[in-house]
Amino acid sequence: MARNFLFPGARHVAVAAAAPTSGSRQVMRIAHRGASGYAPENTWAAFHKALELEVDMIELDVRRTRDHELVVCHDARLDRLTGNAVTLRELSFTELQQHQVGGQVIPRLADVLPALTDACEINVELKERGLAEAAAAVVKALNCHHRVLFSSFLSAELLRLKAIDPALRVAALLTSAPATVGTCLRFAQLVQAEAIVVSHSAFRKRLLTAAHRAGVKVFVWTVDDAEAIAHLKGLGVDGIMSNFPDLI
């Protein structure tokens, strides 16, 4: 069934409502920071493009402004994205509107989620300590917890989410440095993760085998090479994160 979405500064776009994770695709197509190979990362344009490509999941990053608004942004400093040498924590949300990414404002999590969760799942990466309570409150207020998968390198944030509500879904996000299979699985089990999200450079087939044996999914980030994507699909990974999700 097609659904219509209106993004700030964009026309209506009709996309097919995505099937649940257990649907027809064996490998989840995950748009990294939206379809960020085609539009500035973590912007409405990137999310719009990801929906046009009918992805299964959109990954995005969350940080906090000075006045505690949760906003969708990867970097603590805005230099790379906006050319302005300022941190998010220095700015109120109103002030942040003056620092645009590719001509677009940095959006609030509370605005992004209701615009996307009817069409696909959302992977919300918590980039800072102390975000769990506020992020959980946003998701619960919007009643979209079943469509949101939280991830973080910070185990304390994932543990806090599970303490707030065991129904909140979490994934263990692993660094790019290779780690033992046992270490990875212990992290996943500690935070009650349904998935391990591992960098392409750190991914090993034995991790996939052990994770599947333990009933844990494996997503691989960030893969933009068609041959590498085909190889991972052949191995049986559960999801692939790409800046160009149409390659998956």
Q: What is the DSSP string of 108-174?
A: BHHHHHHHHTTTSEEEEEE-STT-HHHHHHHHHHTT-GGGEEEEES-HHHHHHHHHH-TTSEEEEE-
Distance CA 129, CA 160 (A): 11
Residues ≥6 apart with Cβ < 8 Å to 4: 12, 13, 14
Helix (H) or strand (E) segment spanning residue 99: none
pTM over 0.75, yes/no: yes
The answer to whether 153 and 173 have CB atoms below 8 angstroms apart is: yes
**pLDDT (0 to 100) of residue 6:** 54
**pLDDT (0 to 100) of residue 7:** 57
**pLDDT (0 to 100) of residue 130:** 98
The two beta strands, 239-242 and 28-32, are: parallel
* Conformational region of residue 152, where left means phi above 0, alpha means psi within -120 to 50, and beta covers everything else: beta
Encoded tokens for 4 = 């219509």
Q: How would you class 77 by CB atoms within 10 Å of its CB: exposed for 0-12, middle for 13-18, buried for 19 or more?
A: middle
**pLDDT (0 to 100) of residue 3:** 47
Give the chain's residues under pLDDT 70. Answer: 1-25, 177-178
Give, as one character, the DSSP assignment of residue 40: -
Sign, CA torsion 22/24/26/32:
negative
CATH number listed for the domain at residues 28-247: 3.20.20.190
First to last CA, the chain: 23
**pLDDT (0 to 100) of residue 214:** 97
Encoded tokens for 39 = 């539009």
Per-residue pLDDT of 42-67, as tens digits, reads: 999 999 999 999 999 999 999 999 99
Angle 41-44-49 from CA coordinates, rounded to 5° = 80
Distance CA 94, CA 207 (A): 44
**pLDDT (0 to 100) of residue 74:** 99
**pLDDT (0 to 100) of residue 178:** 67
